[in-house]
Amino acid sequence: MLLLILEVNEKVCVVVKFLFMKEIKNYWLFVLFFIFISACSENDTNPEDEINQKELTEEQKENIAINNWTYEQMSLYYLWRDKLPAPEGLDATQTPSDLFDKLLYQGTEANSKKDADKWSWMTDDYEALKKQFEGISKSTGHSQVLSLVSEGSDQVIAIVTMVYPKSPAEKVGLKRGDIITKIDGKQINKSNYRELLGKDSYTASVSNMVNGQIVDSGKTVSLEAETDFVENPIFMSKVIEESGKKIGYLVYNSFIDSYNDDLDQVFGAFREQGVTDLILDLRYNPGGATSAAKHLSGLIGPASLAGKVFYKSQYNTELQKYLVETEGEDYLNVRFGSHGNGLGLNSVWVLTTSGSASASELVINGLRPYMTVTTVGSNTHGKYAGSVTFQNKETGRTNWALQPIILKLANADGVTDYWNGFSPIVAVEDDFFTELGDVNEGMLRAAINDITGGSNVPARKASSASIGKYFRFYNPALKPDQMGNQVELPELSL
């Protein structure tokens, strides 16, 4: 799942809307029909313009209504509100997705456009979006990374990274490290991978990695996505005892509020077993709720965190000014709570990859002013901003929803804009071909060695340098460009 569930007061969405409504309400409708009215006034009547009005299709009228609503929300809340194109330069009849793409901030040349908005999106299936943020989706219950077989190759393979318990994938025997080379008998390549891997039902040809070579196992598995599969974000928790240390290990795959009580139980068990150190595995966690990130961080850090700033919100200029004037400066600060099951640690090791985004990076950034956070693995994604869900209730088209970036997140020291991600302090590749939780799995071993000061079992890199080098993350339930942008917010009164 990338994103952030933001703790935004409902008052913001009602009162601020009132302040700016007159600027933009139905602007496109005005622009569109002003042309016709002007022409008629010049010639008393203009039959051609009357025909043009009548020739608007029902689809175009629908697009105009949705696009008006979209521009209205973006004009109020979008972080880069001042960079929005003027409405008169836009075609209100184009498809909502095409128009939305034209509204997104493109970044600056000075930053090589790394600061561009890569995370906002819209959907015409609000209910599916809502379920997704709850960890419910149409899924086969496994995740994978894609890789080219070698540099310059057209051949794509899908390496299974995780298989969820009781999932369709587990039932057919799929496991971490399996390599999918064909779908329904077709070789996966750069041209067809989205189509083939996006299917709800398919037969996969499975290969294995043997001595650094991909070897066809002759095995095929038939997968069919489960309509409402529930993925518990707490994938694994255990205690590892080594060199006199009791190390808690937690694999956490998405920040979902409804699992906070489960996190409390995990940390309660860690306390009971006398855990002295913690390895937090966020390598495949693209984000989620900021409130869940705050909860988890509070369970990890020193007891003195309670009441201190976890992150500071930075909205667009107009919205920021309004919030400070009406709610006070401290409204922008989100603070740690207190937790009875907290470990009270002064250091934590976090396993990361480019799939660690948004709320995962918020945990790293939010804790660093107060404790030592050692990142182990590879560079994180680089998402320093948060978004909220706006459902189109006003026009009755409630299936449509926006997920726009509305704020930046800064830690207590003011650190934000980390679009390059966080570099690993201990660099090691993901060891796709060893089970998660195995103490010899490359990233876990590197963290254990750093904690214990040991080197008796060296951290291993992935079995194939080319595989490790060319992979990228892919979740069939999402469009590739939506990674790290799965966020939610309590219902808003729009």
> What are 338's two structure tokens?
């207190």
Distances (CA, A) of 22 to 72, 79, 269: 10, 20, 55
- Give the residues across from 375 on adjacent strands: 350
Q: Find, among 26, 117, 19, the residue nearest to 72 by Cα.
A: 26
Confidence band, pLDDT 50/70/90 cuts, at residue 363: very high
Mean pLDDT of 469-487: 34
pLDDT at 114: 87
Length of the chain: 494
CA–CA separation, 212 and 469 (whole Å): 14
pLDDT at 205: 97
pLDDT at 150: 82
Could you report the per-residue pLDDT of 426-444, keeping only the tens digit for each?
999 999 999 999 999 999 9
pLDDT at 356: 96
Could you report the per-residue pLDDT of 19-38, keeping only the tens digit for each?
333 344 444 433 333 333 33
For 31, the enclosing helix (H) or strand (E) is helix 27-43
Asked if residue 319 lies in contact with residue 35, where contact means CB atoms within 8 angstroms, the answer is: no
pLDDT at 56: 86
pLDDT at 49: 41
- Give the residues across from 163 on adjacent strands: 142
Could you report the per-residue pLDDT of 172-201, keeping only the tens digit for each?
999 999 999 999 999 999 999 999 999 999
Confidence band, pLDDT 50/70/90 cuts, at residue 396: confident
Could you report the per-residue pLDDT of 124-156, keeping only the tens digit for each?
999 999 998 999 999 999 999 998 888 888 999
Mean pLDDT of 401-424: 96
Strand ranges (DSSP E) for 296-415? Answer: 309-314, 333-335, 347-352, 372-377, 385-387, 390-391, 401-403, 405-410
Query: Do the strands 277-281 and 245-252 form a parallel or antiparallel pair, or are they unpaired?
Result: parallel
pLDDT at 257: 94
Amino acid of residue 489: L
Alpha-carbon 22 to chain mean position:
34
Q: Find, among 245, 163, 248, the residue nearest to 444 by Cα.
A: 248
CA–CA separation, 422 and 378 (whole Å): 9
Domains annotated on the chain, with CATH: 1-135+231-458+483-494 (3.90.226.10), 139-229 (2.30.42.10)
* Cβ-proximal residues to 109 (8 Å cutoff; 6+ apart), any chain: none
CA–CA separation, 139 and 148 (whole Å): 24
Mean pLDDT of 310-327: 96
pLDDT at 54: 58
Mean pLDDT of 31-59: 48
Query: Do the strands 426-427 and 372-377 form a parallel or antiparallel pair, or are they unpaired?
Result: parallel
CA–CA separation, 192 and 183 (whole Å): 10
Lowest-confidence region among 257-271, 276-290, 292-306, 470-484 = 470-484
CA–CA separation, 219 and 234 (whole Å): 30
pLDDT at 24: 43
pTM of the model: 0.84
Q: Find, among 268, 249, 307, 262, the residue nearest to 435 by Cα.
A: 249
pLDDT at 492: 22
CA–CA separation, 275 and 241 (whole Å): 9
Mean pLDDT of 54-72: 91
pLDDT at 269: 98
CA–CA separation, 64 and 53 (whole Å): 13
CA–CA separation, 294 and 317 (whole Å): 25
Proportion of the chain above pLDDT 90, given as a percent: 75
Mean pLDDT of 337-360: 95
Task: Quote the radius of gyration of the chain (alpha carbons, Å).
Answer: 25
Mean pLDDT of 49-74: 83
Q: How many CB atoms lie within 10 A of CB 415?
A: 16
Confidence band, pLDDT 50/70/90 cuts, at residue 454: confident
Lowest-confidence region among 22-26, 268-272, 332-336 = 22-26
Summary mean pLDDT of the chain: 84
End-to-end CA distance of the chain: 26
CA–CA separation, 79 and 252 (whole Å): 29
Distances (CA, A) of 324 to 302, 315, 330, 414: 30, 11, 8, 17
Q: Find, among 445, 474, 475, 450, the residue nearest to 462 by Cα.
A: 445
> What are 444's two structure tokens?
């876990």
Amino acid of residue 16: V
